[in-house]
Amino acid sequence: MSDGAAAHASELVAVAAERRWAWIVGAIIAVIVVMMVITGLHWASMPPSRVETVDAKTLHLRGEFVESNLGTTLAPDGKVTVRVVAQQYSFVPQCLVVPEGMPVTFRATATDVIHGFVVGTTNANTMVVPGFVATFTTTFNKSGEHLMPCHEYCGTGHEAMWARVQVLPRDEFLARARSGERLSCVAR
């Protein structure tokens, strides 16, 4: 075989390999698009449509996230709400109280950079972004204490940023919440 013929043959091999990979990549993209369509239609998993914003610069001065309004409340209609602020490098309050076996709605925001938290090994897990209110509702099925670490890298103190969460038996929680005060387990 001449040099020219050999070069031509290797070019054909290269072109065939490229075409093969183009099909594989195309197939992967098609599978991902089909998955997105199926999950979107079947489980209605959509990007969040109702985005709540909040002014991070005046959090401490007025509105829902002033310090005296943070912690856990039991509304007269039985709804439990936990309000948390994340900042470099702590959560306020540092210790949260929630009931066992009742839906609990978290509302959280950040003062400075993006943080996040997860409560122990439960599914209570969110990012916390300055300027936005992160909100989700979950139920804790077992009483006990959890660590709640920050799970978004937020600076040099990130690994030291966590809170504690006490899941109280329902009756104990209700007895403590009856006063109408905001609950937390921060030592006074």
Q: Which residues bind ligand CUA (CB under 6 A)?
A: 86, 89, 115, 150, 152-154, 158, 161
Specify the residue, 161 or 183, whose C-beta has the smaller distance to ligand CUA. 161
Specify the residue, 49 or 156, whose C-beta has the smaller distance to ligand CUA. 156
CB of 94 to ligand CUA, least distance (A): 13
CB of 131 to ligand CUA, least distance (A): 16
Specify the residue, 56 or 80, whose C-beta has the smaller distance to ligand CUA. 56
CB 113 within 8 A of CB 89: no
CB of 24 to ligand CUA, least distance (A): 38
Q: Is 75 helix (H, G, I), strand (E, B) or coil?
A: coil
CB 91 within 8 A of CB 144: no
Specify the residue, 35 or 160, whose C-beta has the smaller distance to ligand CUA. 160
Specify the residue, 82 or 163, whose C-beta has the smaller distance to ligand CUA. 163
CB 134 within 8 A of CB 106: yes
Nearest to 69 by CA among 33, 93, 97, 100: 93
Nearest to 161 by CA among 152, 174, 173, 170: 152
CB of 96 to ligand CUA, least distance (A): 16
CB of 151 to ligand CUA, least distance (A): 7
Three-state SS for 85-140 is EEECCEEECCEEEEEECCEEEEEEEECCCCEEEECCCCCCEEEECCCECEEEEEEE
Rounded-to-10 torsion of CA 180, 69, 128, 130? 160
